[in-house]
Amino acid sequence: MLKIRSGIGYDIHRIKKGSRGLFLGGIKVAEDLEFTAHSDGDVLIHALIDSLLGAVGEKDIGEQFPDDDDRYKNIKSAILLEKSVRILKQNHYEIMNIDCVLIAEKPKISPFKNQIRENIAALLSIPIEDFNLKAKTKEKIETDIVGRGEAVECYCISLVRYSL
């Protein structure tokens, strides 16, 4: 029996000046910025986790890894992604493909796109062509915090198949 499911994920975090660095897809894309978040705040990985967990009908990232749990304080989001992939495998699902849209005025994402794609593909053990990333801006339309350059947001959709 062929069973294919999809899931969508979304995340947003404010950015601020800081020395921890700003990570997207597990790659440091800015030295002098950081996310305001309990973990490292990697919005791409957080949206990806929610899309994968949603595809297999599991609890979302906030329920799996609550922000009031000190075990996840400042944790690298790549570790949370690895834990989420184990949940997929335990439920006998494998990733078919993922498509993400990352929206930010700053920092510029395009210089890092290939490195992010390579890193996520490696973390998920999937071919790079099965992970797509589009970097967008809000064209400096300042009607919200992303357009003003005060936050970064990401949408991801994942397609998985049951594989027993």
Mean pLDDT of 116-130: 98
**Which tokens go with 142?**
């300042």
- Which CATH number does the domain 4-162 belong to among 2.40.10.10, 1.10.10.60, 3.30.1330.50, 3.40.50.360? 3.30.1330.50
Mean pLDDT of 51-73: 93
- Identify the band that residue 38 occupies on the pLDDT scale cut at 50, 70 and 90: confident
- Report yes or no: 53 and 59 within 8 Å, Cβ to Cβ: yes
* pTM metric for this prediction: 0.95
Q: How far apart are CA 159 and CA 95, in angstroms?
A: 6
Q: How far apart are CA 130 and CA 161, in angstroms?
A: 13
Convert the pLDDT of each residue in 144-157 to its tens digit: 999 999 999 999 99
Q: How far apart are CA 161 and CA 164, in angstroms?
A: 10
| pLDDT at residue 132 tops 90 | yes
Confidence at residue 79, expressed as pLDDT on a 0 to 100 scale:
95
- Identify the band that residue 82 occupies on the pLDDT scale cut at 50, 70 and 90: very high
**Which tokens go with 107?**
């920092």
Convert the pLDDT of each residue in 85-119 to its tens digit: 999 999 999 999 999 999 999 999 999 999 999 99
